[in-house]
A and B are shown apart, each in its own frame.
Chain A
Amino acid sequence: MKGILIIFLLSGGLFFFAVGTLGLLRLPDVLGRAHSAAKCDTLGAVMTLAAAMVYSGWNATTLKILLMILFIWITNPTATHLIGRVVYLKNAKSDNGVRKNEDL
């Protein structure tokens, strides 16, 4: 029973990780890539770490992994938001005709 649950969560998480990576490679522009990275990474990491929690059982390690899940849940959208803001400000700037350091 426990094994079936672990395999289900692990394969789901790995599927979403793979979808996120494929989106990162296939989508045409930066903000589209950020879409796929933000969503698939959050759910993939949460599902895979939940599988690890189920495997390790009731102990302190489980609590630490739970802490990690909460942390990823908060920080992943925030980091993506900051990257999106950089791209947005850059586009707004280049529309005004000011362009510099296009490639870093």
Chain B
Amino acid sequence: MTRITLTSLLTIGFWIVLSERLNLEVLVAGLLLISIMYMLYGKQKVAIGHEKIFFIKSLGNYGKYFWLLVKEIIAANLQVAKIVLGPRISISPTMITYETKLESAFHRTVFANSITLTPGTLTVSLVDNILTIHCLKGEYGEQIMDSKLEKILLEIEEYQR
């Protein structure tokens, strides 16, 4: 899928959801607005799908990633609740750096945001392929080193090459 088809499919889906119905007038007005938007912002690389995304082929892997992420988020929330609701707050914040092997910018961003949502870790800086991570305790940082999330993303990249 090229960049322009993916972007226009996303924007027209968004427009139909916003207008709550589907008839000719709505569709024509939406296409007009989308072409104006594309003329204004198309040259800047803000749109999704700047790189080749074989989205359909790796849909199963993305689904697996999403399911794992949901489980991690619930674990993270229960862990924060345990720390906050305890009588004394016992944390020892540390900073670690981690070098990721991911290549595409999209996957790096997804991975950095996922780290923020996993237990006890917060991505503080992302420069090229070096992530700086703030951990509530030292032991949570070690979980990042062999995270399953990065393995799934690496698998997707392997598949797309």
Residue B14 is within 8 A (CB to CB) of chain A in the complex: yes
Residue A52 is within 8 A (CB to CB) of chain B in the complex: no
For the complex with contacts A39-B77, A40-B80, 10 further pairs of A-B residues with Cβ separation under 8 Å are A31-B134, A32-B91, A35-B136, A39-B117, A43-B74, A60-B21, A77-B113, A80-B116, A84-B123, A84-B134
Minimum distance in angstroms from B148 CB to a CB of chain A = 18
Minimum distance in angstroms from A14 CB to a CB of chain B = 13
Q: Is the CB of A26 within 8 A of B84?
A: yes
Residue A6 is within 8 A (CB to CB) of chain B in the complex: no
Q: Which 10 A-B pairs have the closest CB atoms?
A: A60-B20, A77-B116, A77-B113, A23-B84, A88-B124, A84-B124, A19-B81, A39-B76, A63-B17, A43-B77
Residue A28 is within 8 A (CB to CB) of chain B in the complex: yes
Residues of A within 8 A of B125 (CB): 84-85, 88-89
Residue B112 is within 8 A (CB to CB) of chain A in the complex: yes
Among A23, A29, A63, A85, point to the contact of B80 (Cβ < 8 A).
Answer: A23
Q: Is the CB of B116 within 8 A of A81?
A: yes
Chain A: interface secondary structure? helix
| Chain B residues proximal to chain A, CB less than 8 Å | 14, 17-18, 20-21, 73-74, 76-77, 80-81, 83-85, 89, 91, 93, 112-114, 116-117, 120, 122-126, 132, 134, 136
A26 to B83, CA, bound (A): 10
Residues of B within 8 A of A29 (CB): 93
Chain B: interface secondary structure? helix
Number of A residues near B (Cβ < 8 Å) is: 34
Known: A81-B124, A84-B122. A42 touches B84 (CB 8 A): no
A23 to B112, CA, bound (A): 23
Residues of B within 8 A of A74 (CB): 113
A67 to B18, CA, bound (A): 10
A29 to B93, CA, bound (A): 9
Closest-by-CB residue of B relative to A19 is: B81
Minimum distance in angstroms from A50 CB to a CB of chain B = 12
A24 to B123, CA, bound (A): 18
A39 to B124, CA, bound (A): 15
Residue A5 is within 8 A (CB to CB) of chain B in the complex: no
